[in-house]
Structure 1
C-alpha cells in the first residue's frame, strides 16, 4: 500500500510544470501594469496637513515612477516591485524600514515577503532587526535558500551571511514613531487607538512577458508583543502572485487577513471565474480579458467579508490582462497605479479615483 502511494505521488509531482506560463492574452505585446500601496487606515483630509499630503503623494509618485521605468524598459515584474518597495522602505513616512513602528519593548521587528507568479516561488522574513531593506532579504530567502520563511535570529543571521546591508537600531527610529510608543507605554492611549495599520508598503506588477509578482513590507503594529507576526510575511494572506490569476499585496489588521487568507482567496476566485467562462473557438479558456468590473467585484467581495469578520484594511491587485487596482474598507489608503494603457496616478482618500 505504501509503495503504491509513493508511486502515485511521484507521478503527480512529475506532472507539475516547472513554471506557470503567462496566460494567453490578446495583443499582449508591451503590455504591463503596476500598483503600489503605503498603508490603509483612518486617512482623512482633516488629519493630514497640506504639506504632509503633498509629501506623501510625492513619495508615492517617485516609487511608482521607478517601477514603471523598469517595466517600460522590458524589465521583470520581480525587479519592478523590488525597486519600488525599496524606495518606500527608505521613506520615513511609511511603516517599513526607516520609520518602522516600535514594539512594546521599544525595539523594531520588521516583516516582509515576495512572490514570483511565474513559478510560485516565494520568500519571507519575520522579526528582522538589522536589515536596511527587508524586501531584499525576503527575495534572498526565495532565491538563495531552500526555505520560504525565516524568522528572528535565524533571519538576521541569514541576512549577514548574504551580505545584506546592516543597520543599527537608531536607523529605524523617527520622532513620530517614538512618540507613538511612548504614548502607548504611558497609557495616554491604548495600542488599539494607534492607527497601526497605516504605513505598511507593497507593490504588485505584471511585466511585458506576462509574468506577475507581489511584495509587502512592514514594521508591524505599534506596541506588538510576544513576537507577534501579522499577515505581511504570510504567503497567501498578505502577499500572493500567480500568472494564472493575479498578484496581491495587502495592508491592514493582519490577524483578519490571515484568517481569511485574503491574498490567495482573491486570486483563487479570479482563477475560478476565468475557468468558468465559455471557451473560445480555438479551445482556449475564456475569450478575451476578464472584465475589470468582474475583477473589482471579486476584490470588493473579499474585502467586504473581511469587514464582516471585523477586519479593516485593503489590497492592491494586478491581473494577467493588464489591469491594476485596489479595494479597501477604510477611510483612505495611500495608493497608486499605472499601466501601459493608463497614465500614472496616486491617491490618498476614499473619495478619490
Structure 2
C-alpha cells in the first residue's frame, strides 16, 4: 500500500478543488471511505448504487442547511443515512472484528465552541453518531467507550438494536477470507470504510462528524482515528471543519484533522493547501486515506492519496456533485 511520494502527490492533483466564488450561505461535504476504488473493478450498476447512496446522504444534510438548520444537525442527518446503508462500513454493514462481532466508533465536534463528543467499541446503538453527539450535548465528558458508552446510550433514550442488526453476509465473508488466506484488512476491503461529513451553516458555524466500523479483523479493542478528536474529526469556526478516512494509526500519529486547521490559523494557508500538505505528510509516513474539509468561508474541498474516495459536496450557490474515482 505504500507508494512513492511523487506518485501520491500526483494523485492529490486529481482531487477536485472548489472554484473561486463568493462565500456561500451554507456548504456541505461528505465522504464514504477512500481506497483502491477503480472504475474497472466496479460494475455500472454498483457505481450507480454508490452514487445514489451518496447523493441521498448529501441531500439529507443539504436540506437541513437550506432550511436554516445548524451545521451540527446537517452533519448528523447526512451520517445517519450512511450508517443505515450496508454499503458503507459504519453502523449497519460495519466490518467484523477478529472475534466475529461489530464494534463501532464515532465522533462529532462543534466549531462554534469546540465542544466535542466521541464513542468507541459500541455494538448495540443503531446510530453511533447520535451517541457521540449525546456525549457532546451532555457535556460532562468527551470520550466514552464500551459498556459505559452503551449504558449512557440507554439512559439518553437512543435507539438500541440487537448486535445481529449490524451484521451482513458480505462483511462476514470478508472476515472468513481474511482468516483463511492470512490476508490484511486492506486485502479484503480495498478501502478504508469510514463515513463522515463537514458543514458550514448560514450563521457561519462549522461542524464535523465521523463514524466507522473500523478495520476487518481488528483485535484487542483496536481504535482508529475516527473517534479521536484532532485526528479523525475536528472543527473550529476560526478555520475549518475536517473529517478523515484512512489508515487510522497514521492519522492519529499525524493529528491530521487538527493539523489542517492549525495550518490555516497559524500559517495562513487556504483549506486546499493545508489539506494537501498534511496528507502529503501522512503519505511520507506510509499512510493512505483522505479528508474532506470546509473552511470558515464555506469552501469545501477533498484531498486523498488513494485511487478513489466516495465523496460529495453541495452549497447554497447551486453546487451538488458526487464523485468516486480520482479522475472524476
Q: Specify if TM > 0.5.
A: yes
Partner in structure 2 of residue 23 of structure 1: none
**Alignment correspondent of 1:282:** none
RMSD: 1.5
Q: Which residue of 1 aligns with 2:223?
A: 229
- The change in CA–CA distance for 1:187 and 1:339 in structure 2 (over 3 A counts) is same
User: Does structure 1 retain, via aligned residues, the 8 Å contact 2:238–2:265?
Assistant: yes
Query: What is the distance in 1 between the residues matched to 2:228 and 2:191?
Result: 16
Q: Which runs of 5+ in 2 are unaligned?
A: 1-20
User: Which residue matches 1:300?
Assistant: 276
CA contact (8 A) 1:197 1:251 kept: no
Conserved? CA contact 2:271–2:301, under 8 Å: no
1:345 alignment partner, one of 295, 318, 321? 321
Task: Write the deviation string for residues 106-141 of structure 1: whole angstroms up to 9, x where unpaired.
Answer: 001000000000000000000001000000000000
Which one has the largest radius of gyration?
Answer: 1
Once the two structures are TM-superposed, the CA of residue 296 in structure 1 deviates from its matched residue by: 1.1
Partner of 1:140: 134
> Does structure 1 residue 33 correspond to structure 2 residue 9?
no
Distance 1:347 1:207 in 2: 23
Q: Which residue of 1 aligns with 2:234?
A: 240
Are 1:131 and 2:122 counterparts?
Answer: no
Find the counterpart in structure 2 of residue 279 from structure 1.
Answer: none
Cα separation, 2, equivalents of 1:103 and 1:270 = 37
Tell me what 1:318 maps to: 294
- Does residue 155 (structure 1) correspond to residue 149 (structure 2)? The answer is yes
Contact 1:114-1:214 at 8 Å conserved across structures: yes
8 Å Cα contact 2:36/2:190 also seen in 1: no
How many residue pairs align between the two structures? 308
Q: How far did residue 184 of structure 1 move?
A: 1.4
Whether the 8 Å CA contact 2:37–2:191 is kept in 1: the answer is: no
Q: 1:228 and 1:196, CA in 2 relative to 1: closer, same or farther beyond 3 A?
A: farther
1:48 match: 42
**Deviations along 1:273-296, whole A, 9 cap, x unmatched?**
34xxxxxxxxxxxxxxx7xxx321
1:147-226 paired onto structure 2 within 5 Å: 147-187=141-181, 189-195=183-189, 197-226=191-220
Alignment partners' CA distance in 2, 1:27 and 1:52:
36
Pairwise CA distance, 1:197 = 4.1
* Offset, 1:198: 2.9
Contact 2:206–2:241 (8 Å) recurs in 1:
yes
SS of the residue aligned with 2:220? coil
- Provide the rounded CA distance (Å) in 2 between the counterparts of 1:180 and 1:308: 29
- Matched-pair contact (CA < 8 Å) for 1:196–1:220: no
Q: Is the 8 A contact 1:245 1:319 kept in 2?
A: yes
TM-score by length of 2: 0.91
Partner-residue secondary structure (3-state), 1:64: helix
Instruction: Give the secondary-structure state (helix, strand or coil) at the position aligned to 2:132.
Output: helix
Residue in 2 that maps onto 1:329: 305
Kindly state the Cα deviation for residue 196 of structure 1 after the two structures are TM-superposed.
6.3
Higher RCO, Cα 8 Å, sep 6+: 2
Counterpart secondary structure, 2:181: coil
Show structure 1 runs of 5+ residues with no match.
1-25, 275-289
* 1:341 Cα offset (Å): 2.3
1:250 and 2:244 matched: yes
- 1:298: how far off? 1.6
- Residues 241 and 293 of structure 2 are in contact (CA less than 8 Å); yes or no, is this contact kept in structure 1? yes
Distance 1:223 1:75 in 2: 39
Asked if the contact 1:111/1:220 (under 8 Å) is kept, the reply is: yes
Structure 2 distance, partners of 1:71, 1:300, is 27
Tell me if 1:85 matches 2:79: yes
